Amino acid sequence: MLGGIRCACAFCLAVLASFTVGCGGGGGGGAQPLPPVADFSISISPGSLSVAQGTTSAPVAISITPQNGFTGSVQVRLSGVPAKPSGAFSVAVGQSANVLFGADPSSAAGQFSMVASAVSGSLNHSASLGICKVCRVLPI
C-alpha cells in the first residue's frame, strides 16, 4: 500500500522502497544533513583598552579558533586606529598574535574602535576593540 493506495506493480514497489530506505524509522523524507563547513572565528582580548599619551599598551591578543576541522591560513588586517598600521599579518589557526598600541604624546585624546579583519579564502570574519586614548596629566 502506497499512501493509502493499494499497489502491486513492480514500479510502485521500487518507488516505495526508494523512499523508505535510509529513513531510519523517523518522520523525515530521508534527506541527510550536510556536513558542517570548516570555518574559523576571531576574538580579541581584552575587549577594551585605555592607553595614556606617550605610553604603550599591554599586549592585546588576537586569536584564531578553528571550527569544524578548519586548517587554513588566516591573514589579519587592522583598521580604525588614527595611525593606521600597514599590511597584514598571519595568525596560525589555534594560536594568538599579541599586538601593542602606542599613543603618541602629541596626538589628541579620544575614543577609537579598532577592527581586526581576518580572511582565509572566501571566509571573512572580524572582531573589534574599543580604545580610549587618555591625556597624561603633567605635574606643575
Low-confidence ranges of the chain (pLDDT < 70): 1-29, 82-87, 135-140
Which among 60, 55, 135, 139 has a CA at the least distance from the CA of 103? 55
In the chain, what are the domain boundaries? 39-134
pLDDT at residue 80, rounded to an integer: 84
pLDDT at residue 48, rounded to an integer: 93
Torsion of Cα atoms, 114 then 57 then 89 then 44, to 10°? -60
Architecture field, domain 39-134: Sandwich (2.60)
Q: How far is CA 62 from CA 96, 112, 126, in A?
A: 5, 17, 11
Residues near 110 by beta carbon (within 8 Å), at least 6 away in sequence: 132, 133
pLDDT tens for 21-46 read: 444 555 556 788 988 999 999 999 99
User: What's the rounded Cα separation, in Å, for the pair 17 and 7?
Assistant: 13
